[in-house]
Amino acid sequence: MPETAVTRIRHGSSIGQPLTRRDGLLKVTGAATYAADNHPEGLLHAVMAVSAIARGRVTHLDVAAAEAHPGVVAVMRPENAPKLAQHPDKKDNPFAFRLDLLQDANVRYANQPIAVVIAETVEAATEGARLLAPRYEAEAARTALDTDTPFVPPAVGAGEEPSASTGDVEAGLTAAARRIEVAYETPSQYHNAMEPHAIVAAWDGDRLTLDTPSQALAMAQGRIAGLFDIDPKNILIRSPFLGGGFGSKAGAAGPQVLGIMAAKLAGRPVKLVTRREQMFGPVGHRAQTRQTLRMGTDGEGRLTALEHRTLTASSTYDDFFEPSGGVSHTLYASPNISATHEAVRLDIGTPMFMRAPGEASGSAALESAVDEMAEACGMDPLAFRLKNYAEIEPISGKPFSSKALRECYAQGAERFGWGSRNPAPRSMRDEAGLLVGWGMGTATFPALMMQAEARAILRADGRGAMLIGAHDMGQGAWTALAQIAADSLGLDLDAVTFEMGSSDLPNAGIAGGSAHTATAGSAIHEAGRAVIAQLADLATNDEASPLFGAGNAGVIARDGSLLRRDDESRGERFSEILGRAGRAEIVATAKSASDPAARDHYAMHAHGAVFAEVKVDPELGQILVSRLVGAFAAGRIVNPRLVRSQYYGGMIWGVSFALHEHAVTDARSGRIMNASLAEYHVPVNADVPSIEAILVEEDDPHVNALGIKGVGEIGITGTAGAIANAIFHATGIRVREFPITLDRLL
Ligand code: MOS
């Protein structure tokens, strides 16, 4: 990748520098290629036809009409779809989801792919798909949470359990001086990445080349290999840039696999781009929830009990559940806590991980309920949270590896001016007569670590390279991981060739769970150390080196030189060491490391505090978020500019959650009525006038060698609740259904 001038670091280390994105220039000039920008020789275009019913079967497709349209090459449907080596309902890893790949005529949700039209042009394929004019045998769609008997779902992903508890909630409630029971509802939300799921697929015998966005290259490679019975090594996935993923581009989604099947059927390369409305179904979503919280407090406002019950939606054919109660495991101290989940099978596409899965919806409800409890106690919401501050993780009883939440509260409150809040609802107005409300919420997200591998190279010319199949969804991996690479090699960033975004590089695991910088960064750090150790071996065993006899541990790498730890004036350049040893290059591969004993002993989370100001028109109910201040502590900050940008993005998503996002389902047809960015609202610039993120210092010696916790998702948590609480403070009206819209304030 070409480098840009802003990447130059002359002194000190790269980690911690506020570099601008190294890929920024490529993106703003249009030079960065996304999946759909690829046009191999002989390319055909595929367009999906999707179901207009939510349950039943397809009884007829007018294949002849579509095939007769000029330019149409084939209509892929259950009768002629290439046979798969493995049924797509088979799960080969905990993150695999059942896919709809034209195996039969059954329809499990609205917008399910029912055919793919392949043509010489995208226009011909689009018209061909229209000409199919499907007919159906439809059954009544189940789309509401009270349609069916709930079940207790199995653990999701890497082990999010459906229930956890400590103590005796009933006893705690009985003993309480005050109690509340409140139910909150959150709607279905859909991943609306700017870049839809697109793929360009080309077969060459049993080799497959794919240009497609991926948050988990090796996992997608494994899934596709299983479906087509080919060696994963024969699949090359190129994913240098993603236009957002939000969880929906981990694993391979159905439309991507359909593109591969279409290329197989046609015997030519095929491009398939999911249309915006087709994103509402086959690629996952955040499930709707109904969360019931019961809390009790003693005479001083201490929680005697906290119960968080979640009822959520799953599909008829898979088991994912939205783990909303997870936040109640960790955030507030109480001797009696219970968090449970149940799900109902609905005729919807399988819900999936979506940006702070669980924490986003869970903290929206928990932070609102905590505000209600504080109100019931007549306490300031911040004072109430400090009174119930968890010094250890409440259910597990583990100490925190680090927790600078008190500092987040203090710095956020100070910056926001929380101290001058009039506690009475409806007591504050601005000069224009609008009602002003101030609310707050606590932010939290686990500091996860996954598995990754990286390869480090040092060359005789003194330059280094770091290779890792990492993923940049827009969060800045191209920059942040390269900064870690430079420091790990003891080189300026300019002296390092950094490669990522392709499946032929070492497996970087998943860009998810806000763990990518920690995980991939840790692999990079270890690979750098390993190659420097090789270099040190060469030097310290060479009588001609000023480092001779210093021992491997007695040297440090800096600015392209190895130096004696005990006398930094003595050392030599990497190039001299390699040159004298006659080595063109040295290479080391290493895996990410996290200490299992530390993971066992400590609870690891990032924390934050979000303060929101809203203005509400007393006559019209119109709501504006006029100010957001977030203060977050997430361990070591690799690049403060990018981290601030992640917090902004997260907090804006919080605005979205509180006020905008809502997929509306028609109860009769089971179809989503607002499957477009015109009607599925997300915030625009005018919705977010002022936003600040404070980076609170936090040193964590336990999470991983670099002390990185992750910053991608935490900004959403806390923010939605803070806004809901600010709306209550402005109006005296408590809305318990998200998104909060103006009609509810009238
Ligand atoms: Mo995510 S939902 O961790 O991409």
- Flag whether pLDDT at 387 surpasses 70: yes
Q: Given 593, 623, 656, which residue is the final one in a domain?
A: 593
Q: Which of 515, 155, 185 has the alpha carbon at shortest distance from 361?
A: 185
Asked whether residue 644 falls in the same domain as residue 705, the answer is yes
Task: Copy the structure tokens of residue 730.
Answer: 């402005």
Instruction: For residue 577, give every residue at least 6 positions away whose Cβ sits within 8 Å of its Cβ, in sequence order, or none.
Output: 535, 538, 539, 542, 545, 562
Dist. CA 409–CA 696, nearest whole Å: 10
- Ligand 1 contacts CB of residue 513 (under 6 A): yes
Asked whether residue 624 falls in the same domain as residue 540, the answer is no
Per-residue pLDDT reduced to its tens digit, 511-528: 999 999 999 999 999 999
Dist. CA 621–CA 458, nearest whole Å: 63
Per-residue pLDDT reduced to its tens digit, 678-693: 999 999 999 988 999 9
The pLDDT of residue 82 = 97
Q: What is the extent of the structural domain holding 543?
A: 5-22+450-593
Q: Is residue 417 part of a domain?
A: yes
The pLDDT of residue 269 = 98
Asked whether residue 487 falls in the same domain as residue 582, the answer is yes
Atom number of ligand 1 nearest to Cα 515: 3
Q: Is residue 524 part of a domain?
A: yes
Q: Is residue 128 part of a domain?
A: no
Q: Is residue 199 part of a domain?
A: no
The pLDDT of residue 5 = 31
Dist. CA 573–CA 561, nearest whole Å: 4
- Flag whether pLDDT at 6 surpasses 80: no
For every residue of 474-529, DSSP letters joined together read SSSHHHHHHHHHHHHHTS-GGGEEEE-SBTTSPB---S-TT-HHHHHHHHHHHHHH
Per-residue pLDDT reduced to its tens digit, 581-622: 999 999 999 999 888 899 999 999 999 999 999 999 999 999
Dist. CA 651–CA 646, nearest whole Å: 9
- Flag whether pLDDT at 12 surpasses 80: no
Note whether 722 and 421 are within 8 A (CB). no
Asked whether residue 666 falls in the same domain as residue 550, the answer is no
The pLDDT of residue 689 = 83
- Ligand 1 contacts CB of residue 721 (under 6 A): no
The pLDDT of residue 10 = 36
CB atoms under 10 Å from CB of 106, counted, come to 15
What Rg, from alpha-carbon coordinates, does the chain have?
A: 27
- Flag whether pLDDT at 268 surpasses 50: yes
Q: Confidence band (pLDDT; 50, 70, 90) for 155?
A: confident
- Ligand 1 contacts CB of residue 650 (under 6 A): no
Dist. CA 165–CA 157, nearest whole Å: 20
Per-residue pLDDT reduced to its tens digit, 550-585: 988 889 999 999 999 999 999 999 999 999 999 999
Asked whether residue 605 falls in the same domain as residue 493, the answer is no
| Phi, psi angle pair for 218, to nearest 5° | -70, -35
The residue-averaged pLDDT of 25-48 equals 97
Q: Given 576, 593, 610, which residue is the final one in a domain?
A: 593
Per-residue pLDDT reduced to its tens digit, 528-541: 999 999 999 999 99
| Phi, psi angle pair for 723, to nearest 5° | -70, -45
Asked whether residue 636 falls in the same domain as residue 624, the answer is yes
Q: Is residue 726 part of a domain?
A: yes
Distance from the CA of 551 to the center of ligand 1, in angstroms? 44
Per-residue pLDDT reduced to its tens digit, 699-725: 999 999 999 999 999 999 999 999 999
The residue-averaged pLDDT of 22-33 equals 95
Dist. CA 239–CA 210, nearest whole Å: 9
The pLDDT of residue 90 = 87
The residue-averaged pLDDT of 735-740 equals 98
Instruction: For residue 543, give every residue at least 6 positions away whose Cβ sits within 8 Å of its Cβ, in sequence order, or none.
Output: none
Dist. CA 547–CA 533, nearest whole Å: 13
- Ligand 1 contacts CB of residue 246 (under 6 A): yes
Q: Is residue 171 part of a domain?
A: no
Q: Where are the alpha helices (DSSP H) in 117-176?
A: 122-131, 169-175
Domain count, the chain: 2
Buried b (16+ CB within 10 A) or exposed e, 405-424: bebbbbbbbeebebeebeee
Using CA positions, which residue lies closest to atom 4 of ligand 1? 247
CB atoms under 10 Å from CB of 701, counted, come to 12
- Flag whether pLDDT at 743 surpasses 90: yes
pTM given for the model? 0.96
Asked whether residue 417 falls in the same domain as residue 553, the answer is no
Q: Is residue 137 part of a domain?
A: no
Q: Is residue 650 part of a domain?
A: yes
Asked whether residue 459 falls in the same domain as residue 542, the answer is yes
Query: What is residue 378's three-state secondary structure?
Result: coil
Q: Given 572, 593, 614, which residue is the final one in a domain?
A: 593
Asked whether residue 571 falls in the same domain as residue 697, the answer is no
Provide, rounded to the nearest whole percent, the portion of the chain with pLDDT above 70: 98
Dist. CA 101–CA 90, nearest whole Å: 12
Asked whether residue 557 falls in the same domain as residue 668, the answer is no
Dist. CA 169–CA 250, nearest whole Å: 37
Per-residue pLDDT reduced to its tens digit, 59-95: 999 999 999 999 999 999 999 999 999 999 988 777 7
Q: Confidence band (pLDDT; 50, 70, 90) for 158?
A: low
Task: Copy the structure tokens of residue 25.
Answer: 């220039």
Distance from the CA of 114 to the center of ligand 1, in angstroms? 28
Give the active site residue among 181, 195, 713, 737: 713
Instruction: For residue 716, give every residue at least 6 positions away whose Cβ sits within 8 Å of its Cβ, in sequence order, or none.
Output: 355, 356, 359, 360, 650, 651, 653, 654, 657
Asked whether residue 638 falls in the same domain as residue 551, the answer is no
Q: Confidence band (pLDDT; 50, 70, 90) for 3?
A: very low
Asked whether residue 433 falls in the same domain as residue 487, the answer is no
Q: Report the chain's mean pLDDT, rounded to a whole number.
A: 95
Atom number of ligand 1 nearest to Cα 215: 4
Atom number of ligand 1 nearest to Cα 250: 4
Distance from the CA of 619 to the center of ligand 1, in angstroms? 40
- 136 residue type, one letter: Y
- Is 568 part of the annotated catalytic residue set? no
- Ligand 1 contacts CB of residue 608 (under 6 A): no
The residue to which tokens 């599909």 are assigned = 315
- Ligand 1 contacts CB of residue 284 (under 6 A): no
- Ligand 1 contacts CB of residue 251 (under 6 A): no
The pLDDT of residue 4 = 33
To test the ligand 1 pocket, which listed residue (246, 249, 320, 352) has its Cβ within 8 A of the most ligand atoms?
A: 246
Distance from the CA of 96 to the center of ligand 1, in angstroms? 14
- Ligand 1 contacts CB of residue 353 (under 6 A): yes
The residue to which tokens 């999911």 are assigned = 274
CATH of the domain at 467: 3.30.365.10
- Flag whether pLDDT at 19 surpasses 60: yes
Structure ipTM:
0.97
